[in-house]
Amino acid sequence: MARLAVFYTHPIQYLAPLWRRLAAESDLDIQVHYFSDASVRGGIDVDFGVPVAWDVPLLEGYDHEFLQRDAEAPGFADARLDDPEALLERERPDAVLVGGYTHPFERQIIPVARRRGIRTLLRGELTDARRPGSSVWRRMAKSLFLRRFYRDIDAFCVLGRNGFTHLDRLCVEKDRQFSSPYSIDTGLFEGMMRGTSRAAARAELGIPEDHMVLLFSGKMIPRKEPLLLASALHRVEDPDRLHLLMLGDGPQREHVEGEIRSALGSRLSMPGFVNQTEMATYFAAADVLTLPSNYETWGLVGRQRRHDVRLARHREFRCRMSLGPRPSRSNRVGLPFWRRCGAGRVHRPGNGGARPNAPPWREGPRAHRGVLDGGQCSRRPRRGPRRSQCRCPSPAGVA
């Protein structure tokens, strides 16, 4: 039986189902190591600014160990191994898996495992997307570091196209690259959605059936750009039948509420932080999922939806059809879109979309208006789910 040692910062709600599925494999013994238990015991989230404890099981169904319990988010700069040599000697794994290269324990365990002849795997959000304000010198230094670090990785579990592009640029051999897309607990979300109809969800939330409902779900922080959405809403010509659901919290909440309330009035609903098992009502009621972040290596919330989807981007707004409320999101988000999924087609510049290099505060309103009015996409969203067209991987498929 092969032994796999996994090292991650803390229990994460969308990874726990994958660890459980791997633990169910008869020929694999998996042990997951953590450095913080804040997501389990609860506590003030730095970005949300409110106590957060997930209401789905994060530690059930697989072997795990807390090497630390108090590493501090969001950077986890103090997540370190006291003696990686002794740890690997004790556990004697056949392979180790890490989620990236930014945390101290990842840079500790990989070279030690390599020296001991243990196979090394990396499954993280690899991308060449630039953070706003990053300098040329910083990017050059990062590339030099990664070329050296990647030499010690035997296999890359790549989440998507951006990851493959990133590895190709750094001359990583193709035979070390394997597709391992992000997954969500499809069973959990499909079960919740089956018990929640669109009409019932809107009746519960007090939203008229003929209104267009936008949904924002995330932290209200500058990187997530909730104020860009506010700017777009102020430029919508006829907002009388437009309703916005904003799930989440954060330091910008008061400012965002003031800006959007002046445009929508009572048609803005802000319930605050909403836990996993409570999300079905809000997502079932929504037509459009917005993700306007100015930088997002992935944007996994876009994978949780189950109806026809339209997508518009931040500077180069596009449309897509998939399964979920129609998402409107930034072109700095790593979440992929598909040319064909369900009924729609990709909405590209020159086809009613925004210019590729236009400032976001000018193109955002125009692009969002196209989404709200139907744009030039082929048809409006279906009212019911199309599960047969689902393209979102399940934990079982990824495992």
295 pLDDT exceeds 80? Answer: no
pLDDT in tens, 7-38: 999 999 889 999 999 999 999 999 999 999 98
pLDDT in tens, 305-346: 443 333 333 332 222 222 234 445 445 554 544 322 222 222
Confidence of residue 350 (pLDDT cuts 50, 70, 90): very low
Task: Give residue 155's Cα distance to chain centre.
Answer: 23
pLDDT in tens, 46-71: 777 777 778 889 999 999 999 999 88
Kindly state the percentage of the chain with pLDDT values over 90: 44
- The three-point CA angle 163-166-171 to 5° equals 125
Q: 185, 17 in Cβ contact below 8 A?
A: yes
Q: What is the pLDDT, as a whole number, of residue 372?
A: 46
pLDDT in tens, 179-207: 998 887 777 777 777 778 889 999 999 99
278 pLDDT exceeds 70? Answer: yes
Cα(110)–Cα(91) distance, integer angstroms: 15
Cα(126)–Cα(111) distance, integer angstroms: 19
Model confidence, pTM = 0.74
136 pLDDT exceeds 70? Answer: yes
- The three-point CA angle 338-303-178 to 5° equals 70
Cα(173)–Cα(190) distance, integer angstroms: 38
Q: Which of 79-93, 128-142, 202-216 has the lowest mean pLDDT?
A: 128-142
CB within 8 Å of 233: residues ≥ 6 apart: 239, 242, 244, 260, 263, 264, 368
On the CB side of 165, CA atoms within 13 Å amount to: 8
What backbone phi and psi angles, to 5 degrees, belong to 160? Answer: -175, -170
**Strands 242-247 and 212-217: what pairing?**
parallel
Q: What is the pLDDT, as a whole number, of residue 154?
A: 97
Task: Give residue 255's Cα distance to chain centre.
Answer: 24
pLDDT in tens, 151-180: 999 999 998 888 999 999 999 999 999 999
Q: 128, 121 in Cβ contact below 8 A?
A: no
271-307 burial: b if 16+ Cβ within 10 Å, else e: eebbebeebbbbbbbbbbbbbbbbbbbbbbbbbbbbb
Q: Which of 257-261, 297-301, 380-384 has the lowest mean pLDDT?
A: 380-384
3 state SS of 47:
coil
Q: What is the pLDDT, as a whole number, of residue 53?
A: 79
Q: 255, 245 in Cβ contact below 8 A?
A: no
Tell me the residue length of the chain. 399
What backbone phi and psi angles, to 5 degrees, belong to 24? Answer: -80, -10
Q: What is the mean pLDDT of the chain?
A: 78
pLDDT in tens, 356-368: 333 333 344 444 4
Q: At what angle do helices 253-264 and 226-234 cross, to 10 degrees?
A: 20
Q: Which domains, from first to last, does the chain contain?
A: 2-179 (3.40.50.2000), 186-392 (3.40.50)
Q: Which of 102, 108, 63, 99 is nearest to 81 (CA)?
A: 108
Q: What is the pLDDT, as a whole number, of residue 296?
A: 67
Confidence of residue 297 (pLDDT cuts 50, 70, 90): low
